[in-house]
Amino acid sequence: MEYRPKEIIGHGSFGIIRKVVAKDGTVNVRKEISYKSMNQKERAQLISEFRILKSLVHPNIVRYLHHEHDVTNQEVHLYMEYCGGGDLSGVIRNLRDKDEFYPEYKVWNVLTQLCLALYTCHNNKAPPALAASILAPSSDAIESPHSFVLHRDIKPENIFLDSSNNYVNVKLGDFGLAKMLDLEHPLATTYVGTPFYMSPEILTDQPSTPASDIWSLGCVMYELCSRYPPFQAKTHLQLANKVREAKFKPLPSIYSATLARTIEACLRIDPNQRPTAATLLRLDIIKICRKEIE
């Protein structure tokens, strides 16, 4: 495939992100990754990122297109769909600057899309159709997947926006720290995420599970409403102490009790007490939001 390279639009931890234009005029994004200075382990991680991205096809997940290997320059070029609406951290910054609150119906809309994305990761298959999920609310528990993906770095900067229609389209991206696991080895260790959004179990060196992503989702949704993360501190140790207690200020009073309860449930200390993406998708209000999106 031939692409016309355009401007650099981002700097990732692995290399630059560049806008490119395909022959038919479609705008895509290219992640240019140099593996020259990577050790064997990092290269393996890179290959695993491709594998994960390829397996995740969903409208709320940044679509991976294909990759090219440039042996001479020791670079891998990863092509993805372009999300031209910035990311959720920009939305939150804007709310803070203007001293505004994100309207509740939009909060539910974002939450719904992120639940759909996380369901797809955690079950390695698309969420059951809305009609089916209404008729048989727990059918998704019967068939268990062979493998699943943990994102492990859910934060506003990794939630991309694409406002091509009336509703903001949310896409989970940056699977650089994601991990593919199977049912025989369902726990992931050696985590390096962003401390603000790290769950208590990760901070105490326990393995991450899908519930750790749900915690981060709770932090992101809290921040979208409050405009600040639920746990903030100057040092890593202070932050760890706050997270361990899981104490945070209540959501601004403009939001409903249902929304506050839903977010609080994601921020329970015990990972087993948090809802799964599947349970969140069974909430009536989320089903209504899905009807509007799908």
Q: Which residues form the catalytic set?
A: 153
Contacting Mg ion (CB under 5 A), which of 81, 87, 140, 174?
174
Per CB under 5 A, 158 contacts Mg ion: yes
Contacting ligand ADP (CB under 6 A), which of 173, 218, 230, 275?
173
Per CB under 6 A, 88 contacts ligand ADP: no
Go through the chain and tell me how many residues it has.
Answer: 294
The bridge status of strand 147-150 relative to strand 64-70 is unpaired
The bridge status of strand 169-172 relative to strand 15-22 is unpaired
> Of all residues in this chain, which one has the CB nearest to Mg ion in the complex?
174
Per CB under 6 A, 157 contacts ligand ADP: yes
CA distances from 115 to 7, 72, 263, 277 (A): 33, 41, 12, 5
Min dist. Cβ of residue 158 to ligand ADP (A): 5
Map the footprint of ligand ADP across residues 179-238, applying CB under 6 A: none
Q: Which is nearer to ligand ADP, 64 or 108 (CB)?
A: 64
Min dist. Cβ of residue 158 to Mg ion (A): 5
Per CB under 5 A, 49 contacts Mg ion: no
Interaction mask 106-145, ligand ADP, x per CB under 6 A? ----------------------------------------
Per CB under 5 A, 216 contacts Mg ion: no
229 binds, among Mg ion, ligand ADP, none (CB under 5 to 8 A by kind): none
213 binds, among ligand ADP, Mg ion, none (CB under 5 to 8 A by kind): none
Min dist. Cβ of residue 61 to ligand ADP (A): 11
Per CB under 6 A, 80 contacts ligand ADP: yes
Min dist. Cβ of residue 6 to ligand ADP (A): 12
Q: Which is nearer to ligand ADP, 83 or 180 (CB)?
A: 83
String of DSSP letters for the chain: --EEEEEEEEE-SSEEEEEEEETTS-EEEEEEEE-TT--HHHHHHHHHHHHHHHH---TTBPPEEEEEEETTTTEEEEEEE--TT-BHHHHHHHHHHHT----HHHHHHHHHHHHHHHHHHHHTSPPPPHHHHHHSTTGGGTSPPSEEEE----SGGGEEEE-SSSSPEEEE---TT-EEEETTB--B-S----GGG--HHHHTTPPB-HHHHHHHHHHHHHHHHHSS-S---SSHHHHHHHHHHT--PPPPTTS-HHHHHHHHHHT-SSGGGSPPHHHHHTSHHHHHHHHHH-
| Options 12-20, 141-149, 245-253, 275-283: segment touching ligand ADP (CB under 6 A) | 12-20
Applying CB under 6 A, the residues found at the interface with ligand ADP are 9-10, 12-13, 17, 29, 62, 80-83, 87, 157-158, 160, 173-174, 176
Applying CB under 5 A, the residues found at the interface with Mg ion are 158, 174
